Each structure stands twice: as C-alpha cells, then as structure tokens.
Amino acid sequence: MEIKIFKDYQALSEQAASEIEEVIKLKPDAVICLATGESPKLTYQLLVKKLIDGKIDLSDCTLIGLDEWVGVPPTTEGSCHHFLYKEIFSPLGISENQIHLFDALSGNLFLECQNMDKLILEKGDIDLMVVGIGMNGHIGFNEPGIPVDNYSHVINLDSTTQTVGQKYFAHPTELKKGITLGLKHLLQAEKVVLLANGDKKASIIKETLEGPISIDVPATVLRMHLNAMVIIDEEAAGLLSEKTLLDSQTASNV
C-alpha cells in the first residue's frame, strides 16, 4: 500500500483528481466506483474541471455509486445519489446508462445488491474505487465487524455512522440502514484510492495504517491490497509514527 501525504486538502484533492484522470486516460472504458462525502468533494470538483478542459471523453466509462442510505429519497440533499449527480454526473453530462446507483427505496434491496454484483461481474471488476474513511474505520458502509468476503449487502449502521451522517442533511434524518458494495469488491478492485483530511481523521488513520489488520477497523483490510493508495493531508497524518512517515512519500516535499 502506498501512502502519500500532502500539505493540505487542496493539494491532496489535486493529486486524487490526477489519479482518477490517469485511470480514465489509460482505460477509456474504465469501471469507476465513487464514494460521496466531504473527503472527495473537492477532488470531484477539480476532476470535472480537468476533464472538461482536457476534452476527455467519458462516454465509455461505467460509474458506480459506492453506497446509499436506505430509505432516503435520491432527491434529498444528503443522499449519495444527490451528491454524485450534483458534483459529477450533471456537470459532466454523464448519460444515465453509464450510471449505476443503488435504489435505496427499492422494496427488494436484496435484488438491488444482486444486480450490482452482477453488473460488476459482467464488467469484469472495478478498475478504480475512490473511497473515504468513516470515524469508525468504515469504508462505504462496511461497518466494524463486517466479513471481508461480503459483496453488496444491506447493513445496520453503527451508531457513529448514524450520528456523523447527520452532517450531510439539512434536517435530522433517520439513518438506520445502509446499502453498500462490500470489502470483497474493494479487495478485488484493480486500484483503490482512499482519501482523508483534517485532524478529526488523524486517530482513525493511525489505527488504519499502524494498528492490527482486523475487521474491527474495516479500512485496515486495505493493507492487504497490492494497489491501494492512501492520500491524506498533514493533519490527518498528524498522529502517525516516524516509521510510517518515513515509509510514506511526503509528497508536499517532492
């Protein structure tokens, strides 16, 4: 696993946008899975600009949403659906047949999971997953304790996720369950880029990079991935040991 530390959120977002751009340039029909949230927001804004300026054609890409809050309508600001349309799909004019998101209002969420897994299988795996990390170490909605061999599934959200998740919504919102790609998708993806910024993420980043690999901190499984990149800012790296810092490429000094 490669760790890259940048001076600030702007610099890490520029790097992350370049990583995504590179995948699209190398493989115009790439299958890309996107997380939502505060961490990748600027990355997506920079990416949109890069792709428009570079006149890069995305019409062969497949774009998959990592997860969704069960029961939250797609039109609600705070849903993953709403975020991805606002930040990426609408600005880039991505056509509907390229977009694959969980329908978290479906009466048959099991079928939603099956359809997502089938799509990924048919596409021959995910080329790039862009993910964030929750305060409890979740990736997507893979909450602590989740088996590593899960594909898409519905999950009861951890109390931390239910509480922290309120930040995306204008009004208090019930966030009891999530629907998400699984850790097995993560481990099988060609490449994974994890983004984290700010000192609030410093403790979980330390656990992720230096603690034991355990499903108690789902993000630690990324250390078993041969092509995973953790892109963080100096604040999120603030508690890392000297050894980890030395092992990492301190990109801000390059």
Residue 42 C-beta: closest distance to ligand F6R, Å? 11
Whether 138 is catalytic: yes
Closer residue to ligand F6R in complex, CB, 78/132: 132
Catalytic status, residue 67: yes
Per CB under 6 A, contacts with ligand F6R among 78-97 are 80
For ligand F6R, the binding residue among 13, 36, 79, 220 (CB under 6 A) is 36
CB of 146 to ligand F6R, least distance (A): 12
Residue spans of alpha helices (H) in 62-167 = 80-84, 90-92, 109-123, 159-164
Q: Is 137 in the site for ligand F6R (CB under 6 A)?
A: no
Q: Is the dihedral of CA 114, 128, 232, 198 positive or negative?
A: negative
Q: How far is CA 75 from the centre of its chain?
A: 21
Distance CA 88, CA 92 (A): 6
The one catalytic residue in 19, 127, 143, 235 is: 143
CA atoms within 13 A on the CB side of 147: 6
Size of residue set near ligand F6R by CB under 6 A: 15
Q: Which of 24, 66, 193, 202 binds ligand F6R (CB under 6 A)?
A: 66
Q: What is residue 162's DSSP assignment?
A: H
Residue span binding ligand F6R (CB under 6 A) among the ranges 94-102, 112-120, 135-143, 207-215 = 135-143
Question: For residue 179, what are the CA distances in angstroms to 35, 70, 241?
Answer: 13, 6, 35
Query: Could you tell me which stretch among 31-39, 106-114, 117-125, 227-235 binds ligand F6R (CB under 6 A)?
Result: 31-39
| Residue 199 found at the interface with ligand F6R (CB under 6 A) | no
Q: How many other C-beta atoms can be found within 10 angstroms of the C-beta atom of residue 27?
A: 15
Going by DSSP bridges, is the β-strand pair 191-196/128-131 parallel, antiparallel, or unpaired?
parallel
Is 35 a binding residue for ligand F6R by CB under 6 A? The answer is yes
Q: Is 117 an active-site residue?
A: no
Is residue 63 a contact residue for ligand F6R (CB under 6 A)?
no
Burial degree of 39 (CB within 10 A; 0-12, 13-18, 19+): buried
Site of interaction with ligand F6R (CB under 6 A): 35-39, 66-67, 80, 131-134, 138-140
Task: List active site positions.
Answer: 67, 136, 138, 143
